[in-house]
Amino acid sequence: SARYLTGSVVESAVGVVIVRAGARRNAMTVSFFSEVAHHPTSMWVSIETSCHTHELLRESACFTFVTLHKHQGPIALACGTVSGRDFDKCAGLDLYEAPDGYLFLRGGLASTACRVRQELPLGSHTLFIADMLAGDWDTRANGSRQLRLSDL
């Protein structure tokens, strides 16, 4: 819901998780994520258990993490204010398929292919710890900073 984006009291960067499970796909705005380690290159992302993205992640165990830049607030709001159960949020994004089948976003600072290594249940959320397998970045966005919650 939008209140998590515009009503947050903790300043943080904003990204998008894109997941595809069979013919179903979804894009969800997230603000709780971080790199875990350089070796092995890995990250974590926290997803609420009631979200459509959570269901798809449990099924596919793979996702793309997109780092958004400061001018991509409309993408963050579009992917964070409606449910993917009711609306195909991916249809409005400029996505392309990477050679390994992951969906990447044109124009983001970076898109990173991730495979879930471990799930850690935390009550209403699950912490998905994932290996970062491959990535692509937009050199035209070079010098642009990450989108932050206060930009929304």
Model confidence over 127-138: pLDDT tens digits?
999 999 999 887
Sign of the CA dihedral with 35 first, then 94, 126, and 131 last: negative
pTM of the predicted model, to two decimals?
0.89
* Nearest-angstrom CA–CA distance, 103 and 95: 6
Q: pLDDT tens across 7-52, in order? A: 555 678 899 999 999 999 999 999 889 889 888 899 999 999 999 9
121 preceded by a cis bond (ω within 30 of 0): no
